[in-house]
Amino acid sequence: MSARVRVLVVDDEEDMRLGLCDLVRGEGYDAEPAADGRTALERVRGEHFDLALVDLKMPGADGLSVLQEMRRAAPEMLVVIIT
């Protein structure tokens, strides 16, 4: 049996983050939330994710800077910027 697809959902707005996680889980995938770019990068460096959904506008590290760091840390992972 193959492993389930793991999706990291990164958004500083809690309602959006949790809503997207629910949506992803409803489609049969594993979804993990991250409230900011720093937390997301720590998780990507320590865990395997197949896909990251990353909010474009976040305080601190915006979505584009998070994308650049994720590409270095996990080049095989797909990243989708959302806004």
Q: DSSP letters along the chain, please?
A: -PPPPEEEEE-SSHHHHHHHHHHHHHTT-EEEEESSHHHHHHHHHHS--SEEEEES--SSS-HHHHHHHHHHH-TTSEEEEE-
Statement: residue 59 has pLDDT above 90: no
Q: What predicted TM-score, i.e. pTM, was given to this entire model?
A: 0.93
Q: What angle do CA 62, 63, 69 make, to 5 degrees?
A: 95
Phi, psi values for residue 36, rounded to 5°: -160, 170
Position 1 confidence tier, pLDDT thresholds 50, 70, 90: very low
pLDDT in tens, 13-48: 999 999 999 999 999 999 999 999 999 999 999 999
